Amino acid sequence: MHTRRLVKRSILGSRVYAPSPTGDGAPVTGVVQAVKQENRDASAAGARRSVYTVLMQDGSLKEFTEEEIAAGSSHTAAKGPLKSSLKQSSSNGVSDGQKVEGGCLSPEAAEEPRLAEGKRVSRDPETRSVSLLEQKRKVVSSSIDVPHARRSEEEVDMDKVTAAMVLTSLSTSPLVRSPPVKVSEGLSGSWKENGSVGPFTPSSNSSSGGYWSWSAPSDQSNPSTPSPPLSADSFKPFRVPSQGGAGPGPAGPEDPSLDEQDGSSLLFDEPIPRKRKNSMKVMFKCLWKNCGKVLSTTAGIQRHIRTIHLGRSCDSDCSDGEEDFYYTEIKLNTDSVADGLSSLSPVSPSVLSPPPPPPSPLPPVSQPADSHRPLPPCDSKEPPAGGTTPLSRSAPSALYLIHTDHAYQATAPVSIPSSSSNSASNSFTPTNSSSFSISWQSPPVTFTGNSVSPTKSQGFGEQRSHTIAVLSSPPRATAALSRKVRGEGKKCRKVYGMENRDMWCTACRWKKACQRFTD
DNA sequence: GTTGCCGGGAC
DNA sequence: GTCCCGGCAAC
């Protein structure tokens, strides 16, 4: 559903005007870092108030109420609170442009790096044109504006889910995976689709893309339920990976805004995702050396990293998403399901072994790749993490590990090589570090190794896809379908020849698998 | 075409 | 259970 590309623009990372901290009345710009809800004053009809944490230009972090920001934003002719400014950004070409620019950290921006650098230059006009489209759309359907918003939000959620599912599916052993597979397939399918389809890319769907791309995805994800029941909160955790360089906790912020504009917000406040197939609680663990802090929200962890470890206090522009590299997603399985399978479950990699496994070269899929994309969206502005941040210098291992985590998930299946060590070594040595190949051998896959030999000549990517394909199908079927690989060793027939058939092992005589010269 | 061996039949 | 072979797939 909903590929990451369809991600709706988040408030996070948006540049807004806020009352001057100095109180001189002059509005200043800042970038929304987080949004939190305050239910306390929800006296009337569950009305909620959102507090926006805005990183001011001077690097300070301020919190503003919606009203305050609204006031500030009025200077740019963008009316209303943040959510409005986002939604209505198209109403003002200039402000829209600003938003987009400021949205360097926004979800879609996170993917920008994927696009040619030059794209950034041409982005403005593009965005505007899209905005115009959106504007028209909104004019026509203004009365159902809210639902739209919700849809896009859900879509965003689904994107996360998709990402999560993809990751999950990649990391899951075939045995456990079969059930989820369908989901992930569906997800990934749409994702691919989106990935390749221009119109749905984040860059072009500034704010409306989510709207019209929703229908298809939703069908996939939830054929039986036309309505968009997904709880945004429930999927927050999944956002992390897919948000890439996005500002801290893009997930959090949107909810409030939605709630505000949608009275029925209660529906979305369910702590537990309705659709979540697995009841996992996702936490985010700081991987900084000796830290290990665990927070429940992306925003939290990112902020933690940024402020505590990176020592950054500047506005979100400084946050090039580098934080992403220093925390990892930890899924806690709240269901005590299938113990036997637990070790194979997708969760195992991160949960069972907090310290991620040895590194692997490539992230499994484009999505995951994004989430931990080494070069955050704003790189063009800021020098790559490599040189500038203390982080990159002092905590490379963490980065390493994180990458490992996901890559590992993807590559683990490659270990299939089970029996034929030759093939295994062939397929690994060339592409990876020695440490890498070793750990992958472990998975007790009963795969006969049929797929291994072919991989010798394949590129790593191909291997991966192959692996994925294999995993997607029921393990049993796979094993059953694939004939036992022809033994490479000598057989009775070869050794003794037809003339000495009586010297063959019985199996050979019976045309069964040779028992004497087993491979 | 050769070879390894699975699946299945005959006994 | 043993013995055999048709037939498939890898080579």
Q: How confident is the model at residue A70 (pLDDT cuts 50, 70, 90)?
A: low
Classify residue A270: in a domain, yes or no. yes
User: Are A74 and A215 within one domain?
Assistant: yes
Please give the Cα distance from A303 to A322 (Å, whole number). Answer: 11
Residue A493 CB in 7 A reach of strand C = no
Residue A493 CB in 7 A reach of strand B = yes
Strand B footprint nucleotides (protein C-beta < 7 Å): 3-8
Mean pLDDT of chain A: 47
pLDDT value, residue A502: 79
Q: Which structural domain, as residue segments, surrounds residue A378?
A: 4-405
What are the two backbone dihedrals, phi and then psi, of residue A146, each rounded to the nearest 5 degrees? -55, -50
pLDDT beyond 80 at A443? no
Which tens digits make up the pLDDT trace of A162-216? Answer: 666 656 555 544 433 333 333 333 333 333 333 333 333 333 333 333 333 333 3
Signed CA dihedral, A461, A465, A471, A477: sign only? negative
Which tens digits make up the pLDDT trace of A340-352? Answer: 333 333 333 333 3
Signed CA dihedral, A87, A89, A90, A96: sign only? negative
User: Are A439 and A312 within one domain?
Assistant: no
Classify residue A182: in a domain, yes or no. yes
Q: How confident is the model at residue A427 (pLDDT cuts 50, 70, 90)?
A: very low
Partnered with residue A64 across adjacent β-strands are: A52
Residue A498 CB in 7 A reach of strand C = no
pLDDT value, residue A249: 37
Number of domains making up chain A: 3
User: Are A305 and A195 within one domain?
Assistant: yes
Structure tokens at A329: 């997603």
Per the rule left: phi > 0, alpha: psi between -120 and 50, beta: everything else, A131 is alpha
In angstroms, the CA of A237 and the C1' of C9 are apart by: 47
Residue A485 CB in 7 A reach of strand C = yes
Residue % of chain A over a pLDDT of 70: 16
Length of chain A: 519
CB A485 within 8 A of CB A448: yes
- C10 nearest neighbour residue (CA to C1'): A486
Which tens digits make up the pLDDT trace of A138-175? Answer: 444 444 444 444 444 444 555 565 666 656 555 544 43
Please give the Cα distance from A306 to A297 (Å, whole number). Answer: 14
Q: How confident is the model at residue A488 (pLDDT cuts 50, 70, 90)?
A: low
Please give the Cα distance from A134 to A154 (Å, whole number). Answer: 18
Partnered with residue A286 across adjacent β-strands are: A327
Which tens digits make up the pLDDT trace of A260-318? Answer: 333 333 333 333 334 444 445 677 777 877 777 887 887 887 888 888 887 776 555 55
Query: Rounded to an integer, what is the distance from CA A282 to the centroid of its chain?
Result: 13
Strand C near-CB residues (< 7 Å), A 432-451: 450
Look at residues A16, A41, A37, A11 and name the one whose alpha carbon lies nearest to residue A28.
A16
pLDDT beyond 50 at A20? yes
Classify residue A179: in a domain, yes or no. yes
pLDDT beyond 80 at A321? no
Partnered with residue A51 across adjacent β-strands are: A36, A65
Q: How confident is the model at residue A25 (pLDDT cuts 50, 70, 90)?
A: low
User: Are A375 and A451 within one domain?
Assistant: no
User: Are A322 and A401 within one domain?
Assistant: yes
User: Are A461 and A352 within one domain?
Assistant: no
pLDDT beyond 60 at A377? no
User: Are A255 and A334 within one domain?
Assistant: yes
For residues A59 and A220, the model is more confident at: A59
Residue A476's contacts (CB-CB under 8 Å, 6 or more residues apart) are none
pLDDT beyond 50 at A331? yes
pLDDT value, residue A493: 80
pLDDT value, residue A19: 63
